[in-house]
Chain A
Amino acid sequence: MTTTPPTTRSSTGPPENYNFGIISVAVTVSGSRLTSVTIGTLDDGGNPRSQSIDQQSIPILEQQAMQAQSANIQGVSGASYTSSGFQASLQGALSQLGFK
């Protein structure tokens, strides 16, 4: 049987080329929280890439750390995900993973 190799769509530049990047899916099963961190369709040509990520390097997950500190919080609302400081370190983290 022959298989067609996946078509790679190269990202045409920095992540500014799309609006929605899905960076984390957390699943809570009856009280205990599992966080599975996956990179969504940033550069996949249809094939999602999953990698495990050092949580410290992703500022968005600092928000989740804030959540974890207070076990009875289900989320954090704020505009800080996109502040320039966060952007810079997020960019760095994504570069490390091969997303330019």
Chain B
Amino acid sequence: MGTIVTIDVHVDAGMPVDRLTAYVGRARSALRRADDVFSTWRQDSPMSRLRRGEVGLADVPQEVTLVLDACRDARKLTDGWFDPWALPGGVDPTGYVKGWAAERALDALRQPEVAAAVVNAAGDIASFGCVSPGRPLRFAIVDPFDPTRPACVVEHVGAVATSGTYERGEHLFNPYSRQAVSAVASATVVGPELGMADAFATALAVGGRDVLDRIGSLDGFEAMTIGHDRECLWTPGFPWAGSLASTGADPAT
């Protein structure tokens, strides 16, 4: 099953519908473009052909190089716990590109009439703006033991990525043991950008405590895990709703 994306746009009253439709159309085009280039489900996508060795980097769209370079950064920043090159079948940047694509869609919505926007790609969120004066955006994190309930609420503007054992198909792959395992039931990373937050959340779900501490040392990122035993660990600045760490500042403004 593919990635389901929802787009929430908060706009000023009186905004012409055709303009709104145009902006949302561009956001959707950005997602389609990412799918066309990166989908490993499509046999003939540039990514699939690259994986099969039929083409080289010089023959594929520039976004591929950009994404793979970012994945190299993410691999380094997570001490190898996020490693698209360790997956069977050839390099697979899906754990990063889903978030990156959501950010490209969000960029299409950064328009004067748009007070806030939230792009939610299968539970990973990219956002900007403000819906309540002086208040940051608020997001619920799903309870991994009961996905119909929230476990908690965070206050953050930007990216919120959650990875978990209940993720389908993409069995979380431990690049060190080379097995599909996970250290925690749910791993959440908040930060300024969703591609990285996504990669970090993936690394956190398999790497657990070591990765939590690592992410805590990275500027702008905070993390939280819910263990299989329901124990919760988090970085000191994790923006629980109502905590001192959550501020109303939107880094984009």
| Interfacial residues of chain A within 53-100, with CB under 8 A of chain B in the complex | 60, 62-64, 66-67, 70, 72-84, 86-87, 90-91
Interface of A is mostly: mixed
CA distance A40 to B9 in the complex (A): 17
Task: Report how many residues on chain B are interfacial, defined by Cβ distance under 8 Å.
Answer: 64
Alpha-carbon distance between A42 and B171 when the two chains are bound, in angstroms: 25
Report A's interface with B, CB cutoff 8 A.
14-30, 40-41, 60, 62-64, 66-67, 70, 72-84, 86-87, 90-91
- Cβ contact within 8 Å between A73 and B138: yes
On chain A, the residues within 8 Å of B124 by CB distance are 77
Distance from A90 Cβ to chain B, minimum over Cβ atoms (Å): 7
What residues of A have a CB within 8 angstroms of the CB of B2 in the complex?
15-21
CA distance A34 to B180 in the complex (A): 41
A24 proximity list for chain B (CB < 8 A): 6-7
Q: Mark B75-109, 1 if CB is under 8 A from A, else 0.
A: 00000000000000000001000100100000000
State A35–B35 Cα separation when bound (angstroms).
Answer: 25
Contacts of A78 on B, CB cut-off 8 Å? 123, 141-142, 144, 147, 162, 164, 186
Q: Are B1 and A22 in contact (CB under 8 A)?
A: no
A72-B42 contact, Cβ under 8 Å, with A27-B9, A78-B147, A79-B123:
no
